[in-house]
Structure 1
Amino acid sequence: MSKPFFVFLHGAWHTPKCFMPLTSALQEAGFENRVVCPALPSSNATPLPTDWNADVETIRTTVSKLVEEHDVVVVMHSFSGFAGGVIRLVYIAAFLVPEGFQHSPAGTRGNMVPQMKTDMDAGSITILPEDAKNMFYQDVDDTTAAELSKDLRPQSLGAYWGKTTFAAWRYIPTTYIICKRDVPTTVAAIHWLIDTAKASGPHQIDSVIEVDAGHSPFVSKPQWVADTLIAEVNRTL
């Protein structure tokens, strides 16, 4: 049986570059040319889009081409949990939400933490370099965190105002990776999201894994994430 493709969806403010340590580990494990990391327009386009439709279309196009001939595992981090697709979904500290979920009411910065600096006129949200370590890289050394923060981009404000229309985790086998060293309020929210999803009706959340890592384990523990993804794929197939 041929190996599946991994499609990695980065979180808000990031670029595909954040997955480099993890993709290198997967390639060394035999997944050469089986990793795809599309750049999501909500943090990689100029000008920034006013909603998340361009992200959805990028993901749909990427996955649709691959599934014509291959099995696909979609791995979502943080903000990109609003999207999904295929033989298995893997959420890493990501939004796992039902149909009709809206992060923030349109035109507001509701439910946003103080570190999310909003510019209503520019339609953007930024994270200051001095806040990046506590937000994303809790278990990464200061030098590496500072280097990673240089790659952060403004994020589309309007993308946080969109409403989800489909919950793929109801129909596709789903793994959730909880990062225990993430921001405490985030960890509590993740437990609530998982419990709420399971109680909301049909679901395929069949694996919940905890790791002693911060928000971005693909940076701090790339080999562990690679091994876990491969194990989840093998279990699925």
Structure 2
Amino acid sequence: MLAKLLNLRKRAPEFVPAMEEGLRVYAIGDIHGRLDLLDMLLPRIEADHASRPPAERHIIFLGDLVDRGPDSAGVIERVRALCAADPNVHCLMGNHEEIMLRSLEGEDKALRLFCRVGGRETMISYGVTPEEYERLDYAEVTERLNAVVPASHRDFLAALKEIMVLGDYVFVHAGVRPGVAIADQKLAETRWIRDAFLEHRGVLEKVVVHGHTVADEAELLPHRIGIDTGAYQTDRLTALMLEGSQQEIFST
């Protein structure tokens, strides 16, 4: 990690991104139903924060709490409770939260996608049995989803933030459209963009901290930092600590 950071500085000596003075920010990548990993990572974050000089600690979840892993309901409840208890804990909306919300509304395209990208596991986490799920048609998925997802979870998901800017960093789920000012970004696109963002190699208005696209390890580049390490498959949930010009990675 140290070698990677030193290499970053060599490639871009004219600009060293920095967090706002007095802030210590921990960003957490895509969880996808892995409450077990989140419960391992959060104590490490708190221990790290306690080991450092006093600073205002923020935690930012980058979205995709749900689908694929075994306990989406538990992850939503844990993150919802953390956000409710501490105004310095924030959660962004990922494309999977958008799909889930649209499925709750009965949107046909979203329902078909929900059932392909891990919605089965999400519904099972809310108490639907695998046998029952297999018997449901799309209309029944919406009906059953509305029956099992508590209003507190639906309201929490609907109120998720889209984007946050702190210091020289912008936090989004998937990325930004290169060449478009942060203030002018289409918020829905920040949840879904992939190739146009990932293939960009030039300077961006802010260093983008994102998840959405799985990599074997955290990607620390001069213009973006990707921290989706495929937790639901790899057992590696990743967090990024930003303070001053420091960038440090934690993984389960």
TM-score (structure 1 length as normaliser): 0.37
TM-score in terms of structure 2 length: 0.36
Structure with max Cα Rg: 2
